Amino acid sequence: MTLDEAREHIGAGVVYNPGHGRPEDGEIVRVTDLYVFVLFVGDRTPKATPPGALTLLAPHQNESLF
């Protein structure tokens, strides 16, 4: 995902794949010049996430995860 794609999908569900460990589901809450802030399931605050590690969930799963 790119930063522009993330800006177009604020509120959408995403999967974070760090390249190691388990992927995590979350929701895009904000986008800056460098990062996508994602609120992951079970977290209280969003985390700065590199956009290249994110993939949009399937269209039928784009509703809020919370």
Q: What is the CATH number of the domain that holds 43?
A: 2.30.30.30
Q: Which helix (H) or strand (E) holds 24?
A: strand 24-31
pLDDT of residue 59: 63
30 conformational bin, left if phi > 0, alpha if psi -120 to 50, beta if neither:
beta
Range of the domain at 25: 3-61
27 found inside a domain: yes
CA distance 66 to 51: 21
**What's the pTM value of the predicted model, to 2 decimals?**
0.85
49 found inside a domain: yes
66 found inside a domain: no
Number of domains composing the chain? 1
Per-residue pLDDT tens over the stretch 14-63: 999 998 989 999 999 999 999 999 999 999 999 999 999 999 997 655 45
38 found inside a domain: yes
CA distance 30 to 48: 9
